[in-house]
């Protein structure tokens, strides 16, 4: 079982630390629900942090802060931006904790996250739940957003290529926003992967994908974060049926997975699960990455150093 203790972190006094002796998670109780750190013990945070917002509480406006959060999709103001800056409840569960946020006055949705850490693997499972605590049916989807640290690169696998004669119908579905710019040099759209780099000089950009490959990754300073999630066949997803979105601006890059759109009657709950793993890139490539902000220069590099880890069960 992981070790669970209460520790201070970045100005918040009450935070739950889960560790298996190799990696650690920190979940603040003072606001949220929010996982504010995931990293190797003694090493940098894989997740992004906005220093000026860390340790805060009780603000009149919603704060992104950083880390991993649970939202309600489709995005809508003000419901999606309902404040999460007051204390939350924490309950112990086998191998981890459950975070519980009281339902807000706008969406009337209770958010919970079951966060568990494997004892012998650097693997985290997060079960995101939305419960309708209002008096009317609502249509929504769980939206799991992970803010990654600056100057890394997202790696998004594409479907296997087929011949023109082999498949005449489309096998991909992308959603683009009014500010999406595919000429942005942060993008590399290859045969097998999309790469998206965080650049503090660049303005917002975003795409959404109906993603069936089951994983995405983020590579930074020789550390590889892998996020796994499933697309349910036959289900309908937000934003023109996409279950993965990535967004970046000057401060952050987000890896966002979504659950299916469902209509919840009062008292009903929907759930969406992600699995995370964290790896040190200890190859010759990893040594180069520690000297450079660039990462995995070719798709063959990604196949060798990222794909093999992502495809492990």
| pLDDT score for 292 | 41
Residue 217's nearest CA partner among 196, 190, 189 is 196
The DSSP call for residue 308 is: H
| pLDDT score for 295 | 53
Model confidence pLDDT, tens digit, residues 283-299? 544 454 454 444 577 89
Rounded distance, CA 148 to CA 155, Å? 12
Non-local (6+) Cβ contacts of 259 within 8 A are: 128, 141, 142, 143, 144, 237, 243, 270, 271, 272
Rounded distance, CA 90 to CA 86, Å? 13
Residues of the chain scoring pLDDT < 70: 282-295, 313
Reading phi first (left if > 0) and then psi (alpha if -120 to 50, else beta), residue 267 is in left
| pLDDT score for 293 | 42
Domains, the chain, ranges and CATH? 3-310 (2.70.98.10)
Contact 17, 25 (CB under 8 A): yes
- The H or E element containing residue 66 is none
Neighbours of 189 (CB within 10 A): 12
Contact 184, 247 (CB under 8 A): no
| pLDDT score for 285 | 45
Model confidence pLDDT, tens digit, residues 168-187? 778 899 999 999 999 999 99
């Amino acid at each position: 079982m992981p070790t669970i203790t209460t520790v201070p972190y970045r100005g918040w006094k009450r935070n739950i630390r889960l560790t298996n002796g190799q990696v650690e998670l920190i979940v603040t109780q003072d606001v949220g629900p929010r996982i504010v750190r995931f990293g190797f013990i003694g090493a940098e945070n894989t997740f992004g942090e906005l220093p000026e917002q860390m340790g805060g509480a009780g603000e009149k406006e919603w704060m992104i802060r950083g880390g991993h959060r649970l939202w309600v999709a489709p995005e809508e103001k003000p419901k999606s931006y309902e404040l999460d800056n007051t204390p939350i409840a924490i309950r112990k569960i086998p191998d981890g904790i459950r975070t519980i946020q009281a339902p807000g006055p706008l969406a009337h949705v209770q958010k919970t996250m079951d966060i568990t850490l494997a004892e012998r693997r650097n693997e985290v499972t997060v079960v995101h739940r939305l419960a309708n605590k209002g008096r009317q049916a609502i249509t929504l989807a769980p939206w799991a957003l992970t803010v990654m640290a600056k100057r890394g690169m997202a790696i998004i696998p594409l479907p296997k290529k087929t011949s023109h004669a082999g498949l005449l119908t489309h096998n991909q579905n992308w959603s683009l926003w009014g500010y999406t710019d595919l000429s942005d040099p942060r993008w590399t759209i290859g045969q097998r992967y999309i790469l998206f780099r965080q650049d503090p000089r660049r303005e917002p950009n975003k795409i959404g994908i109906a993603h069936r490959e089951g994983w995405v990754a983020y590579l930074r300073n020789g550390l590889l974060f892998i996020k796994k999630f499933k697309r349910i066949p036959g289900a309908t997803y937000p934003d023109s049926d996409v279950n993965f979105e990535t967004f970046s601006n000057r401060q952050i890059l987000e890896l966002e997975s979504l659950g299916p759109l469902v209509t919840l009657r009062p008292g009903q709950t929907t759930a969406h699960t992600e699995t995370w793993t964290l790896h040190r890139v200890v190859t010759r490539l990893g040594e180069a990455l520690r000297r450079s902000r660039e990462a995995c220069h070719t798709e063959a590099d990604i196949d060798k150093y990222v794909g093999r880890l992502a495809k492990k069960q």
